[in-house]
């Protein structure tokens, strides 16, 4: 986690909490901002800045009509699950230690030739 912000009470029934991840691929880093809403705001309470996390999220978007009549579009990444990676360096906290990597081929496959 790169940035973790405090909870913002937007209205009587709506609150949100934003956080930013640093995702490094190659020579460049990306910094996507996610939001947690209402009862999900506490999901990052136990996560510290600098810790690695896996985020499950929904991509949301809404149009908004400005005062000048222009239609603007807003995009949100609504996080709904945050997990710390397993100590083994793969999978997540719910992955059993003996689970295969996603790209491993099991040894016990049948020798049948399939027609496709």
44 burial via Cβ count (<10 Å: 0-12, 13-18, 19+): buried
pLDDT for the residue 107: 59
Instruction: Spell out the residues 6+ positions from residue 38 whose beta carbon is closer than 8 angstroms to its own.
Output: 13, 14, 15, 16
Q: How confident is the model at residue 93, as a pLDDT? A: 47
Q: Please name each of the domains of the chain with its CATH number.
A: 3-83 (2.40.50.140)
Round to the nearest angstrom and report the end-to-end CA distance of the chain. Answer: 45
Note the pLDDT of residue 108.
57
Q: What is the mean pLDDT of residues 92-116?
A: 52
**Digit-coded pLDDT (tens) for 1-27:** 899 999 999 999 999 999 999 999 889
- Checking DSSP bridges between strand 3-4 and strand 33-37, what pairing results, if any? unpaired
7 CB contacts (<8 Å, ≥6 apart)? 15, 16, 17, 41
Nearest to 40 by CA among 7, 2, 1: 7
């Amino acid at each position: 986690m790169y940035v973790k912000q405090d909870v913002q009470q937007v209205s009587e029934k709506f609150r949100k909490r934003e956080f930013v991840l640093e995702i490094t691929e190659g020579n460049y880093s990306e910094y996507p901002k996610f939001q947690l809403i209402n009862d999900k705001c506490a999901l990052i309470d136990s996560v510290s800045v600098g810790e690695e996390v896996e985020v499950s999220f929904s991509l949301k978007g809404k149009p908004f009509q400005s005062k000048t009549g222009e239609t603007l579009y807003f995009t949100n990444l609504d996080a709904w699950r945050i997990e710390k990676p397993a100590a083994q360096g793969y999978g997540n906290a719910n992955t059993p230690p003996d689970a295969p990597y996603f790209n491993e081929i099991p040894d016990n496959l049948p020798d049948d030739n399939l027609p496709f």
